[in-house]
Every structure is written in structure tokens, then in C-alpha cells.
Structure 1
């Protein structure tokens, strides 16, 4: 295979084979350095907007030749995932539920896309035995978004997602750097226009400019951290247990789009929208059995349990007082005890105050003592009135218990 026509033919056959490989869209990008991206990443770092989860080496993020010797093209793939729960369980007084982001529904998408990548590589190797390739999904060095944009998968939107004309932004992205001189595709024209729905709806104003995200304020990032969370951000978390989809759910380009054809990615309703109280006492083994096959498990159970504690506080449901009091009294992790104190202050009322006052006598950790004191100052019997609010209401499935 040594002429342009042959490589064009292979590219055409590859795209035709995509559905059979479990891939929804394939695009081809050149393997040239991402020069403009590097400048943006440098500025992003200078502003302190990184999450800390990224590849720290900006050269590796922008120079494919550092990842595969003499690369000739990058094959970008997109796999569509569901955006709606069919007949989800209701969150009700006494049985409050949290919500996992769509990226945590079904089987871990990293595993699913790696499977698709292996099939793609096998398909190529059958036709080009001299293939050399380096595949990556999300956790790789390259920017999935930048590759997908260059490959014509979609455009890079104001919400920092890639929006595809066919599937909206409900797609997982992956790429394969190769030594095959496949002809590149044309980028898709940007189509956000004047719309700022995503920026307007972001709970924490983390979308600081079109296509620019301050990850330190992004709820998706905050829900994956393990430490203490500020009062402001805990209120904004609502009942989100992992991730945040708000900037995608409000996007007009996603309206009516829900993809159910990838079997591994379909949600288990009880895992996608679980009861909060049982999460508080879930041990490591139980957590791994329930969530070990999902993308939410990569940080372990601690962030999800902390977020469940936060969600109970945001619901202001008196039924949460006793479970939270148990956490405050006996959980060995000071971050969860301090968070439980905050949530009890949010709920308020005599029972919450009693739990806080009892804990104040026994607690020795300074951070928890501070949280208890702040909660006692914030909590009052009058707050019990808020427990009667209709909090299991519109927007809850997107994590917004209510706006304040």
C-alpha cells in the first residue's frame, strides 16, 4: 500500500467498518504538533485552572512524535452514550438519592473504549501488517478534544466538550497515533453561535470564558477530590455524587439526544441514582462490588461517601440527622466527620444541634471542631422549615437540589 489512492481507499473502508467495531464515528487527523494548544495550556497553567489530573508534561500533550516515533496520522474515535434514565427511582423524604454523572453510568468507558481500540487495531493490522500504533483514552497524554476537533469528529464548544453534529456531546473520545499516512479529514465548523446556555447554567461559573474552564471550580472536578470542600462549593454540589452534566444538559445541541445502542454503557438505575444513606456505611469490598466496574471507582469510595454526606445536608431532610450523627461520631476519616457537621448545620433543628453538641465534647481533630462550631452557629430550629421544601424536584437528576 504505497500510493495516495490506496490510503484513501483504506480510510473509506475503515469508516465503513466503524459500526461493526462498535464505534460511532471515526475521523483522521494529521500528526503535526498542536502548537496553538500548547500556548493555551501554558496560559491555563499560569492562571491556576488545571485540575491536577492532567498529564503534566505539556510537550507530551501536544507533540505526537514524543509518543510514537515518526507518526503519520491520528485516528480519532467517538462512542455515543446515554443521557436519560428511563423510569428512574424517585428521591423522596426519608429516602433521598444522589445522582452519578452520565460518564459513570454503565461499564467504565475507559475499558469499553480500549476494547473498541483493540478491535480497530486488529482490523488495521490485518490489512497493514507493518502498522505501528499507540492508543489512548482519556487518561493518555494527548488532548482528546484537540485531536477530535482536528479530525473532524466535532467542534470544541463553549462548555469545553466536543459537540458532534450527529451525537451531540454525549460521546466518549479516544485516539490512535499511527505510522499510516491516512489522508486527514476537514474540521467541523463551530456551531455554538451566540448561545451561552452552558456558561449561564454552570453552578459555580467555572466556565470563565468560551472554551475555558477553571477546573478548580468545576463541580465535576470537586466531586472527585478527597479533602474538605468549601461551604460555597458544598452548597453548589447539590446531590451530585460524581461528576456534573449541567453544561451538557442545557446545551440546545443535545436536545432530544439519548443513545441506547452501546449495551455496556447503559445505566443500572440503582447505581446511577443511589440511595444516599446506605452509601455512608459501605465498606471497601461492598463499594468495589457495586461500583468497581464503573468509571466512578477510580478515586475510591471516600469522595462519593463525602458527597453523599453533602447531599443529605443539601436536602435538609430531618431523616438524615441520625445517619449524619453516626458519621460525625464514629467515622475514622476527619474529612467525613467535618462534612457531616456541616450537613447537620444545614438541616438544623433540635436533633441536629444535640448531635453537634455531643460531638463537640468528644472530638479532638481541629478541623472537625471548627466545622462543628460553624454548624452550631449556622443551625437553628427555624431551618427545619426548609425540610418541607419540594427538593426532589425539577433539576434534581442533574444534581441541582435547589439554587440558592
Structure 2
């Protein structure tokens, strides 16, 4: 088989099935990535969601028998929400990041990768492949960088010349020796906007991210959000796009190429108050198809409470008090108590003191005390 000819056939087919960009990389060890990952581990900058075995992340042969090359694919997603509902007094709204608009991108990319794998196997019967999207052992961004799909930017994302950083990435390891493409030169230059405006200082420096401070990570945690971040997440329910929206390379970028990625405005910017009492069944039926639902409703509800406090939404007080008194989950009760105090109405004192008398959970009691402290500060 002429591999150069076959490579062109794969590229043509990829366009036919709606893959927006494709690149080919060698399957040799990602030596530079190993050094970065070791340093991240030493600094305790990892989120904990990653594959813990660094060697599996940098040595394809540990997860695939005799790999010869890796195919990287990219699908562009929308950056602008059409007919976005407005957040207004009494009807405040939260926001899901762009990566959670439309159908879960993991499912969308897996379908594309399966079609690509089937095509390759059909044309080359001896071919063996393994695909992964986001949750695999390899670093999708490191593969995309090596494959020339884009460059690894200061915001720790892959930026493509065509679609900016608004792309989903997927990989296909194969035992076929495709000719690798050339990596792309870094085009960030002296621009440092993403580092300068990161709300929590998670971007320590260009290309280095402390994931534990990143809002995209923090909104996915299930416990009490540390105090220092509660006023920084704003009305974000899941994820954060700040380092993308300020990037000059993303200016004017907005592609609507895939119907399944089109967001429902009411789901991308939902009303906050209904989220506080949504049932597990309704949450799954309404949000189960979006990537932002993967951790369940608890983080979303906690973040919705923080968003109501961010807006100082007085109309939410009765509901927040009810949640504080009745919700069986300490994190939700405690966060609601904090929010009741943060909104800062005088009537909050009595309800917080009443809650303090009945509460038995130590962490919730701490949050009630914080709430009471807020009410004293506003009197």
C-alpha cells in the first residue's frame, strides 16, 4: 500500500464525514510533555481528573501494541449564542461554558473517530486502531500540537489558524506508518492577555496552568468551594471561557458547522432558581445530553446558589432559606446559608440563627457563621 496515497484518501474522507481538521503525528515518546507533567506533579498543579500514570500519557506503546502513528482530529464549535436570553432582576441566569453547548462533544467525536477507524480498517484490513477523546491516557493537546493541527498557546489550549481555540480534539492511534505532519510555530508572540485576566490566577505563566485554581475545574468539584473563589466564579455554572474570549486569535471566530453542537439558549443560560430544586430525573432528562452534566446536579446547584449570591438576588431569599433548612446535602445547605448572609438582608439574621440552633453538621455550622458575619457587616 502506498501510504502517501492512503493518507490523502483518509484526509478526503475525514472532510466528507465532517471532521474540520486532521493531522498526523509519530507515535514516539512525548519527551517534552513528560518533563512538563513531572513539574506539574511536583507543584501539585494537577486537577486529579487526568490519567495518573505519567508514562502512559507520554508513551503510546504502553497503551497500544506497536503504534506507528497517531491521527489527531479537530471539530469546530460555536462561540456565540444565538437568541441568548437575558438575565434580569428576579430572573437571574447562569451560564454553561461553550464546551458544554449542544450534545456532549465526547459522543460527537467518538462517532467521527469510529467512522474514520472503520474507513481505515476497510481500506487496510490489517490495520488496528484505538481512539480516545479527552478521557484517554494521551494528551489530546500534545498530539494535536505534534500533528500540526494548531499550536499550544499560553492559555494551555490548542489554537488553530482557522477556528481559533474553539475546537474539540480527538485521537486515533494506529499501527499504520502514516507520514507525520509538521508542527506549527507558536503564534502567541508577546501577547499575554489570557494570563493577565485569568480570574483566579490559574494561568501561572504562558503555557503553565495550576488546574486546582482554574474555574473550569472548580465548577466541577462537589465539595464546598473555597472562600477565595466564591466571588470569582460569577454566574458560571460549568466551565470558564475567559482565556478564550480575550484571545485576539479568537476575535470574530464563530463557526456553526455541526447541528448537534448547536446550543439550546435556555440550557446554555438557564434560570438559576429552578435549578435549586430540580429533581434527579428532571436534571438527567434536561441536561443529561450535555457535557456539563457529567458530575451530576450537585456541583451545578452549588454554583447556582453562588451565582444568586453574586447577583444579590433578593427574590431568591425564600428559596435559599428553604434549601438551607431542608436540603439533605450539607454542601448545598451550607452554601445556601452562606448565600443568605451574602445577600445581606436584615431578616437573614433570624433565619440564620434559627438554622444554627437546629444544624448538627460542623461544616454547615461554619457556613452559617460566615452568613451571620455578612449580615453584621451590612447593618
Q: TM-score range by the shorter chain?
A: over 0.9
Per-residue deviation at 1:80? 0.5
1:41 has 2:37 as partner: yes
Paired residues of 1:321 and 1:351 also in contact (CA < 8 A): no
For residues 217 and 13 of structure 1, the distance between their equivalents in structure 2, rounded to whole angstroms, comes to 44
For residues 109 and 214 of structure 1, the distance between their equivalents in structure 2, rounded to whole angstroms, comes to 24
For residues 160 and 354 of structure 1, the distance between their equivalents in structure 2, rounded to whole angstroms, comes to 47
Paired residues of 1:161 and 1:169 also in contact (CA < 8 A): yes
User: Pairwise mapping of residues 108-127 of structure 1 onto structure 2 (< 5 A)?
Assistant: 108-127=104-123
For residues 337 and 251 of structure 1, the distance between their equivalents in structure 2, rounded to whole angstroms, comes to 38
TM-score (norm 1): 0.92
Give the counterpart of 1:242 among 234, 238, 242.
238
For residues 267 and 345 of structure 1, the distance between their equivalents in structure 2, rounded to whole angstroms, comes to 35
| SS in structure 1 of the partner of residue 347 of structure 2 | helix
For residues 356 and 45 of structure 2, the distance between their equivalents in structure 1, rounded to whole angstroms, comes to 37
Task: Report the equivalent of 1:20.
Answer: 16
Task: Report the equivalent of 1:392.
Answer: none
1:176 has 2:172 as partner: yes
Task: Report the equivalent of 1:256.
Answer: 252
For residues 267 and 374 of structure 1, the distance between their equivalents in structure 2, rounded to whole angstroms, comes to 37
Structure 2: any 5+ residue segments left out of the alignment?
Answer: none
For residues 189 and 284 of structure 2, the distance between their equivalents in structure 1, rounded to whole angstroms, comes to 43
| SS in structure 2 of the partner of residue 193 of structure 1 | coil
Per-residue deviation at 1:314? 0.8
Taking only aligned residues, the RMSD between alpha carbons, in angstroms, comes to 1.1
For residues 107 and 287 of structure 1, the distance between their equivalents in structure 2, rounded to whole angstroms, comes to 15
User: C-alpha deviations, 1:64-102, integer Å up to 9, x for none?
Assistant: 111111111000000010111112011011000000011
User: C-alpha deviations, 1:297-324, integer Å up to 9, x for none?
Assistant: 1111100011001111111121121111
User: Pairwise mapping of residues 140-151 of structure 1 onto structure 2 (< 5 A)?
Assistant: 140-151=136-147
For residues 304 and 16 of structure 1, the distance between their equivalents in structure 2, rounded to whole angstroms, comes to 41
Deviating 4+ runs (over 6 angstroms): none
Structure 1: any 5+ residue segments left out of the alignment?
Answer: 384-404
Paired residues of 1:344 and 1:353 also in contact (CA < 8 A): no
Give the counterpart of 2:103 among 100, 104, 107.
107
User: Pairwise mapping of residues 65-214 of structure 1 onto structure 2 (< 5 A)?
Assistant: 65-214=61-210
Per-residue deviation at 1:352? 2.5
Per-residue deviation at 1:380? 4.6
Paired residues of 1:156 and 1:162 also in contact (CA < 8 A): yes
Task: Report the equivalent of 2:278.
Answer: 282
Per-residue deviation at 1:214? 0.3
For residues 138 and 55 of structure 2, the distance between their equivalents in structure 1, rounded to whole angstroms, comes to 9
Report which stretch shifted further, 340-349 or 148-157.
340-349
| SS in structure 1 of the partner of residue 88 of structure 2 | coil
